[in-house]
């Protein structure tokens, strides 16, 4: 983040601002980090950058609470907690995503084609490790 040290906030892109914000949070050495839709309004490159940061933070042992309504981003999680009107309606581990596609559909969550394909592969005995997608 050193390359941004002499720039004003208005000179930074939204993705750069997100990364600077994450760096600021890390400076206080938190035990937990809560990210509320950190990739909202970012271009694909910016989204991948933020997801790479989250993955690295997880590897370093940080607990990340990642709030999103973008179904493709659930792959970076270890556990998915689905809320409806402030109540937990389902908890799913990453490894069980494909088994819960019908649940996602039933509550109105659009499913990416990759998940549909993974479900069909699983039905044929081919397991998909979703951690490979992150």
Report d(CA 16, CA 40) in Å as an integer: 13
pLDDT at 133: 54
Chain segment 37-76, per-residue pLDDT in tens: 999 888 988 899 999 999 999 999 999 999 988 888 888 8
> pLDDT digit string (tens) for 74-129?
888 889 999 989 999 999 998 888 788 889 889 888 877 777 787 788 788 887 76
Q: Tokens representing 107?
A: 């509550």
Specify the pLDDT at position 74: 82
Report whether 78 contacts 133 (CB < 8 A). no
- Specify the pLDDT at position 5: 76
State the pLDDT at residue 33. Answer: 95
Q: What is the 3-state secondary structure (H, E, C) of 38-81?
A: CCCCCCHHHHHHHHHHHHHHHHCCCEEEEECCCHHHHHHCCEEE
Model pLDDT, residue 131: 57
Give, rounded to a whole angstrom, the gap between the first and last alpha carbons of the chain: 23
What are the extents of the domains in the chain?
2-68
Task: Report which of residues 45 and 3 the model is more confident about.
Answer: 45
Supply the pTM of this predicted model.
Answer: 0.76
- Strand partners of residue 55: none
Surface-to-core class of residue 118, CB atoms within 10 Å of its CB (0-12 exposed, 13-18 middle, 19+ buried): buried
Q: What is the pLDDT of residues 9-40, one digit of tens each?
A: 788 888 888 888 898 899 999 999 999 999 98
């Amino acid at each position: 983040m050193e390359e941004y040290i002499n720039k004003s906030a208005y000179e930074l892109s939204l993705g750069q601002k997100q990364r600077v914000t994450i760096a600021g949070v890390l400076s206080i050495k938190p035990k937990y980090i809560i990210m509320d839709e950190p990739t909202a309004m970012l271009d694909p490159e910016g989204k991948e950058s933020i997801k790479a940061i989250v993955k690295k933070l997880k590897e370093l042992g940080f607990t990340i609470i990642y709030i999103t309504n973008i179904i493709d981003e659930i792959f970076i999680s270890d556990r998915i907690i689905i809320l409806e009107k402030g109540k937990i309606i389902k908890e799913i581990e990453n490894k069980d995503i494909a088994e819960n596609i019908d649940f996602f559909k039933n509550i109105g969550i659009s499913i990416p084609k990759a998940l549909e394909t993974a479900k069909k592969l699983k039905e044929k005995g081919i397991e998909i490790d979703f951690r490979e997608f992150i």
